[in-house]
Amino acid sequence: MDNQRYLKNVATLEYDSSMCIGCKMCVEVCPHNVFKMTNKKAEIIHLDRCMECGACEINCITHALTVKQGVGCAAAVISGFLKGTEPNCDCRAGASCC
Amino acid sequence: MDFSNLSLVTQPKIDSNWFRKDYLGALRVRLSLGRNNYRVNPGLYKLGNPGKEAEVIVTSNYKLSFDIVRRSLKGLNAWILVLETYGINVWCAAGKGTFGSDELIRQIKDSQLKLYVTHKRIIVPQLGAPGVSGHKVKDATGFSVKFGPVRAEDLKDYLSAGMKKSTNMRTVQFNLPDRLILTPVEIVNSLRYLLYAIIVVLLLSGINSNGYSFSEIWQEGIPASFYLLLAYASGAFIGPALLPWLPFRHFGGKGLVAGFLAFGLVAFLSSTEYSMSHIMGWLFISGAVSSFLTMNFTGASTYTSLSGVRKEMRLFVPIQIALILVGLTLVIVSQLK
CATH of the domain at A23: 3.30.70.20
Residues A21, A36 within the same domain: yes
Phi, psi torsion values for A89, nearest 5 degrees:
-85, 95
* Per-residue pLDDT at A93: 41
Q: Which of A28, A31, A92 sits opposite B36 (nearest CB)?
A: A92
- Residue A21 — very low, low, confident or very high, per pLDDT cuts 50/70/90? very high
Helix, coil or strand: residue B169: helix
A46 and A79: one domain?
Answer: no
Segments forming the whole domain that contains residue B25: 3-170
B-proximal residues of A, 15-44, CB under 8 Å: 25, 28-33
Q: Which residues of chain B have pLDDT under 50?
A: 1-9
* Together in a domain, A54 and A37: yes
Domain boundary among B143, B170, B197: B170
Distance from CA of A27 to the nearest CA of B (A): 9
Q: Is the ipTM of this complex over 0.85?
A: yes
Is a pLDDT exceeding 80 seen at residue A11? yes
> Would you state the pLDDT for residue A86?
80
Residues B106 and B233 in one domain: no
Output the DSSP codes for B190-249. THHHHHHHHHHHHHHHTEETTEE-HHHHHHHHHHHHHHHHHHHHIIIIIHHHTGGGSSSS
Closest residue, chain A, to B186 (C-alpha): A96
Q: What is the domain count for chain B?
A: 2
Last residue of some domain: B170, B188, B207? B170
| Containing structural domain, residue A23 | 1-67
Flag if A3 and B174 touch (Cβ within 8 Å). yes
Smallest CA–CA distance, residue A7 to chain B, in Å, is: 6
Is B310 part of the contact surface with chain A (CB cutoff 8 Å)?
yes
Measured between alpha carbons, how far is B146 from B224 in angstroms, rounded to an integer? 55
* pLDDT-above-70 percentage for chain A: 87
Residue A75 and residue A60 share a domain: no
- What does pLDDT average to over chain A? 87
Number of folded domains in chain A? 2
Examine the domain organization and report whether B99 and B215 are in the same domain: no
- What pLDDT, on a 0 to 100 scale, did the predictor assign at position B15? 87
Asked if residue B256 and residue B207 are part of one domain, the reply reads: yes
For residues A59 and A76, membership in a common domain is answered with no
Distance from CA of A62 to the nearest CA of B (A): 11
Whether A62 and A97 map to the same domain: the answer is no
Any A CB within 8 A of B309 CB: yes
